[in-house]
Chain A
Amino acid sequence: MERPEAIVIGCSKGGFNALKLLLDALDPQLPQAVLVCCHTASGAGVLAGLLAAHSALPVIEATERQPARPGVVHVAPGGYHLLLEHDRHFALSVDEQVCFSRPSIDVLFDSAADTYHAALIGVVLTGANRDGAHGLAQIRAHGGLAVVQEPASAEAAAMPQAALDIAGADYCMPLEQIAPLLNRLCLT
Chain B
Amino acid sequence: MPAPLPDAELEQIELDLFLQALKRRHGHDFSEYAPASLTRRVRQLVHTHHCGSISALTARLLHEPDFVPLVIQGLSVPVSEMFRDPPVFRALRQHVLPVLASYPQITIWQAGCAHGQEVYSLAILLEEAGLYERSHIFATDFNADALQRAQEGIYPARDAQLWSRNYLLAGGGQSLASYYSARYDFIKLNQRLRRHITFANHNLVTDKVFCEAHLVLCRNVLIYFSNPLQNRTLALFRDSLVRGGHLCLGMRESLDFAPTAGDFTAVDAALRLYRRNSQPALEEHDGTA
- Point out residues on A near B: beta carbons under 8 Å: 44, 63-65, 77, 79-81, 83-86, 91-96, 107, 110-111, 114, 117, 137-138, 140-142, 167
> Can you spell out 27 A-B residue pairs with CB atoms less than 8 angstroms apart?
A44-B270, A63-B252, A64-B253, A65-B227, A80-B223, A83-B36, A83-B40, A84-B36, A91-B34, A91-B36, A91-B37, A91-B223, A93-B37, A93-B224, A94-B220, A95-B41, A95-B77, A96-B77, A107-B40, A111-B36, A111-B40, A114-B36, A114-B39, A117-B8, A137-B3, A138-B2, A141-B4
Q: Given A65-B227, A93-B224, A107-B40, does the pair A142, B270 have CB atoms closer than 8 Å?
A: no
Minimum C-beta distance from A104 to chain B (A): 11
Minimum C-beta distance from A51 to chain B (A): 19
Query: Do the beta carbons of B35 and A86 come within 8 Å of each other?
Result: yes
Query: Do the beta carbons of A110 and B40 come within 8 Å of each other?
Result: yes
Query: Do the beta carbons of B79 and A96 come within 8 Å of each other?
Result: yes
Write out the residue numbers on chain A whose beta carbons fall within 8 Å of the beta carbon of B37: 81, 83, 91, 93, 95
Query: Do the beta carbons of B252 and A95 come within 8 Å of each other?
Result: no
User: Residue on A with the closest CB to B41?
Assistant: A95
Minimum C-beta distance from B78 to chain A (A): 10
Most buried by B among A91, A94, A142, A167: A94
Query: Do the beta carbons of A95 and B79 come within 8 Å of each other?
Result: yes
Q: Which of A84, A93, A138, A142 contacts B77 (CB 8 A)?
A: A93
Q: Given A94-B77, A94-B223, A141-B5, does the pair A80, B40 have CB atoms closer than 8 Å?
A: no
B242-276 to A contact mask, C-beta < 8 Å, 1/0: 00000000111110010000000000001000000
- A45-B224 Cα distance, complex, nearest whole Å: 21
- A84-B40 Cα distance, complex, nearest whole Å: 11
- A71-B39 Cα distance, complex, nearest whole Å: 28
Query: Do the beta carbons of B79 and A94 come within 8 Å of each other?
Result: yes
Most buried by A among B8, B34, B250: B34
User: Residue on B with the closest CB to A87?
Assistant: B35
Query: Do the beta carbons of A64 and B223 come within 8 Å of each other?
Result: yes
Minimum C-beta distance from A167 to chain B (A): 7
Contacts A81-B37, A85-B35, A92-B252 supplied; 8 other A-B pairs, CB < 8 Å: A65-B257, A80-B252, A86-B35, A91-B36, A91-B37, A93-B224, A94-B79, A114-B39
Most buried by A among B35, B37, B41, B253: B37
Minimum C-beta distance from B234 to chain A (A): 14
Query: Do the beta carbons of A114 and B223 come within 8 Å of each other?
Result: no
- A92-B221 Cα distance, complex, nearest whole Å: 11
- A167-B253 Cα distance, complex, nearest whole Å: 35
Q: Which of B2, B36, B251 contacts A141 (CB 8 A)?
A: B2
- A114-B252 Cα distance, complex, nearest whole Å: 24
Minimum C-beta distance from A19 to chain B (A): 22
Write out the residue numbers on chain B whose beta carbons fall within 8 Å of the beta carbon of A138: 2
Write out the residue numbers on chain A whose beta carbons fall within 8 Å of the beta carbon of B77: 93-96
B24-49 to A contact mask, C-beta < 8 Å, 1/0: 00000000001111011100000000
